[in-house]
Chain A
Amino acid sequence: MSKKVSKPGSISRRRLLASAGAAIAASPLGANLLQAHAAPIKIGMSMPQTGGLAGGGKASLLGIEIWRDDVNAKGGLLGGRKVELVVYDDKSSASETPAIYSKLIDIDKVDLLFAPYATVPTAPIMPMVKQRGLLLIGNFSFQVNSKVGHDMWFNNAPWGPADSWATSYLDIGQKAGGKSMALLSADQEFAQNLAKTAREVATKRNLPIVFDQAYPPNTVEFSSIIRALKATKPDIVYVASYPPDSTGVLRAVNEIGIGDSVKVFGGGMVGLQFGAVMENMGSLLNGVVNYNTWLPEKSMYFEGTKEFFDKYTKRAVEAKIDPLGYYLAPFGYASGQLTEQAISAVGSLDQKALAKHLRENTHKTIVGPIAFSADGERKETAVLQAQFRGIVDKNIEQFRSAGKQVILFPDNLKSGELVAPFEAART
């Protein structure tokens, strides 16, 4: 018995040696294929985890991580390859990202690239990915591809055409009888981009701009600015501000008032989408019409949306980040879904083929269907304009229920009508 066993054993050992030799002699392609089958699909990105953009960056990353866990729980992609994320902190700075993305491409040899959250860290890597012909899934940057013209860029943000933001807000204002506009903007990248398009749209529509002021980013006291704005008696007030100033502006409006002439107030106030700021501002938010990306209104639930937020809410508590996470996290998940669908459809990681698929199809995601135009931005805007209603002080849970932020735009997601003028809507 033992002899019998030992004989075949020795043969098999010989065979093993022979086959090992054959494998070494065989082309490296075979070995690579074997390796590739087992190797995970690496997705590389930098993400602001320190610095000014860290709050958003962490929430966005959690969204992507939830997608990774979901897709891996389903067995991975391309017949069992797990998804692995390679993430570095870019410290919210433009100067860090070129080296990080070079490391991701040249050293880590990742299979796919995601962009960091926001415009500033993304801008320096655009020429690099264009030059190397790499696919890049954008993450909430604004018009970063307009000058570069990379045909393998796809932004997950709902922005759409550059002027659609101002167009939708001014539509609401003009429908409410607005005949003049006041523009108040922070001297920062995003706010200035918004202000620029608002000016252009207003000029096109012959809407007089009665007040146009930019203020330095660190301004905390807005009463003099609001007084000056009020004195011009505008109908539409378009504010493009950043989190600390958004609260400052609203406090000043609360103290001084804005006048009965104002039909709508808000538009581009960053910060009023974040749980902590919303809880802090409480009833001061009432009446403000502001942009948003996702809200818990009935029209916003698509396949998988509810399940996503169930998971997010649990994990956000552990990770100590925005407990609501409406603004960025579901779009991080959607980035993953875009990639997942493209890879499944193409059946490989060929960047050109993936880009072609992304460009030519409409993709189902938890934030609704996404289709891209030639510049890699959304074909149609899905930026919401919503009005805060019936908000009470110091209660973050209220923002989880429908009806607290009524969607006025776009029409297919609308969940209510505007209450105007602004002073009437505040109470």
Chain B
Amino acid sequence: MKRNDIAFWIGAVVFLAAVLVMTQVVANQYPFFAGYVILQSIALAVAWSILGGYAGYVNFGTSAFYGVGVYASVFMVSAFGAPLPLQILTGAAVGALMGLALGLLTLRMQGIFFSIATIALTIVIETTITNWRYVGGAAGIQIQRPAVTSPFDSYVQMLFFVQAVLVVLAVAISRYIQNSWIGRGLQALRDDELAAECSGVPTLRLKLLACVISGALMCAIGAPAAMYLQYADPGSAFNLNYSVTTLAMSLIGGTAHWAGPIIGAILLGTTQQVLTVTISSEVNLLVLGLMLVLFVVGAPEGIVGLINKLRGHRKEGEI
């Protein structure tokens, strides 16, 4: 267990160091633009699976949290000219509060009813932002980036690194939860909420905690997007696509293990980026749809589930 921890943290440090070196060595900007989107997908999928995977509460409100993160940044920049770290912290704080509110209001609902409530949340918040003129309202708002901080040459390189840090943070939290009493409690309530409650698992408290952590992370991940786009409009920030693709990434990767959403997001996120600049027409929607269908049919427990199954078979064969 401890050796695992060390390996994980060494891996994380190596990953961040590689990202940092990449920002210093690679001059071409495109890998950072495309890479930022992929890293964002990974972070979102990992954050989503804390509630959606471990607890089994399918949250369609990813775009609500993401959009609130974007607009938290827009507000902080418009009102105070806040720097990027403060934007992200504000996003996380607002996200935690929103997660708590969502949890208190909806967690007594289960299954499909909870999912529908989270879609409603997206619509409610998007309508609110649409009518809030200070942050641009329906017309959207253009924001200016401040000067880039060294050692980075361009702002996008810096954002790429910041998003990589957020990925490590999200994965570390997700991994910690999985291996701690919180994760075991969440898994118990996913299998049978009533039985878990009877066995003394504080289900509502655990679900609330998962909601708060997941919400805070998703908002924090959305916050740098305002600076990435230098523009925000409700239609793009609250795009239902974020909810759908995040869900798809987690499902394709597998929700039972913290590595599942990472694998799913890398696979789907990269495919999406590649398709955008190759097929680049309606056909890419078809390809994504087919991929989803194939995975749902062929690997209902995701890639991680499939690997475990294959390993299991091999072991049985060996024995």
Contacts and interface: CB of A to CB of B under 8 A. Distances in A.
A89 B139 contact: no
B30 A50 contact: no
A159 to B, nearest CB: 15
Interface in A153-192: 186-189, 191-192
Interface in A64-111: 87-89, 91, 93-96, 98-100, 102-103, 105-107
B307 interface: no
A192 B137 contact: yes
B266 interface: no
B270 interface: no
Interface string B172-193: 0000000000000000000000
A89 B229 contact: no
Contacts of A187: 127, 130-131, 137-138
Contacts of B144: 127, 147
B281 A189 contact: no
Most buried by A among B37, B137, B235: B235
A124 interface: yes
Contact of A148 (B36, B142, B156, B225): B142
Given A124-B230, A192-B137, 12 more contacts: A50-B284, A88-B276, A88-B277, A89-B281, A89-B284, A94-B236, A107-B28, A119-B140, A123-B229, A126-B230, A192-B138, A214-B138
B295 interface: no
A120 B280 contact: no
B33 A99 contact: yes
B231 interface: yes
Nearest to A218: B123
B282 interface: yes
Give the secondary structure class of B's interface. helix
B28 A95 contact: no
Contact of B277 (A100, A147, A189): A100
A50 B138 contact: no
B251 to A, nearest CB: 21
Query: Would you list the 4 A-B pairs with minimal beta carbon distance, nearest first?
Result: A99-B33, A94-B236, A123-B231, A102-B33
Contacts of A311: none
B233 A103 contact: no
Given A88-B280, A96-B276, A123 B33 contact: no
B308 interface: no
Contact of A98 (B229, B284, B285): B229
Interface of B: 28-30, 32-34, 36-37, 127, 130-131, 137-140, 142, 144-145, 156, 225, 228-231, 233, 235-236, 239, 241, 273, 276-277, 280-282, 284-285
Contacts of B233: 94, 120, 123, 189
A283 interface: no
A214 B280 CA distance: 35
A49 interface: yes
Given A50-B285, A120-B235, A188-B235, A196 B34 contact: no
B139 A120 contact: no
Contacts of A89: 276, 280-281, 284
A414 to B, nearest CB: 31
Nearest to A96: B276
22 contacts: A49-B281, A88-B277, A89-B284, A91-B276, A95-B225, A99-B33, A99-B36, A102-B29, A102-B32, A102-B34, A103-B30, A103-B34, A106-B29, A107-B28, A123-B231, A124-B230, A127-B230, A147-B142, A189-B139, A189-B235, A216-B127, A217-B130
A193 interface: yes
Contacts of A186: 138
A105 B277 CA distance: 13
Contacts of A95: 37, 225, 229, 236, 239
Contacts of B229: 94-95, 98, 123-124
Contact of A99 (B127, B235, B273): B273
Contacts of B281: 49-50, 89
Given A49-B282, A103-B277, A193-B139, A93 B33 contact: no
Given A96-B276, A189-B140, A106 B284 contact: no
Interface string A188-208: 110111001000000000000
A102 B228 CA distance: 12
Contacts of A99: 30, 33-34, 36-37, 273, 276
Interface in A285-340: none
Given A50-B282, A87-B280, A124-B230, A93 B142 contact: no
Contacts of B284: 50, 89
